Amino acid sequence: MDNQPKPQYSLTISSERSSIRNAVNLVEKVADKMKLVNEESDNLAISVSEAVANAIIHGNKFDKNKKIKISIFIKNNRVTVKVKDQGSGFNPKELNNPIDPENISKEFGRGIFILRNLMDTVDFNFTKSGTEVIFSKNYNKNSFKK
Ligand SMILES: Nc1ncnc2c1ncn2[C@@H]1O[C@H](COP(=O)(O)OP(=O)(O)O)[C@@H](O)[C@H]1O
Ligand SMILES: [Mg+2]
């Protein structure tokens, strides 16, 4: 039996760069429905685009036979997003700090850093079927349009 709660929104995309736009479109629609202010909507959109890019590039390695599933859960003022790929994962402890002097001029290695800074929680779930990045943010009254 599958006891997982059902997401309010979900989308399955293929492992190509152009799919990022589809994921961002969905998130913008959700943010709009929630009446999130533009700054919060943009922060959520950039977080999703980084997570989805990682799923496409590092997770599924552009494999046409592999998919990515995006699930969005809304509960009270909290949004939780899950991005699941079909790749073999990585070790989050080995991530480089992009603001260390030797990394500061590199334009890669910033996605997870951005995600962690924009969201309240960022977690990784590594399973045999793939990697899932789960992030969430709890919004307050200033996050919503009047
Ligand atoms: N879904 C994923 N599957 C496998 N490896 C990943 C995934 N997401 C992130 N990574 C690993 O974490 C590293 C850092 O990701 P990120 O901060 O987005 O930087 P970048 O994508 O520019 O390398 C990646 O280079 C990759 O090694
Ligand atoms: Mg990245």
Q: How far is CA 145 from CA 27, 29, 43, 68, 142, in A?
A: 17, 15, 15, 31, 8
Dihedral, 131, 43, 138, 87 alpha carbons, nearest 10 = 0
Distance between CA atoms of residues 146 and 143, nearest Å? 9
pLDDT for position 1: 59
Query: pLDDT tens across 50-97, in order?
Result: 999 999 999 999 999 999 999 999 999 999 999 999 999 999 999 999
pLDDT tens-digit map of 32-49: 999 999 999 999 999 999
Question: What domains are defined for the chain?
Answer: 9-143 (3.30.565.10)
For the whole model, what pTM was predicted?
0.96
Other C-beta atoms closer than 10 Å to the C-beta of 118 total 17
Q: Would you say residue 2 has pLDDT above 70?
A: no
Residue-level pLDDT at 121: 98
The residue to mutate among 17, 46, 54, having the most atoms of ligand 1 within 8 angstroms of its beta carbon, is 54
**What average pLDDT does range 105-118 have in this prediction?**
96
Residue-wise pLDDT tens digits, 4-32: 789 999 999 999 999 999 999 999 999 99
Ligand of minimum distance to the alpha carbon of 58 = 1
Atom of ligand 1 nearest to the CA of 96: 14
For residue 124 and ligand 1, the question of a CB distance below 6 A is answered with no
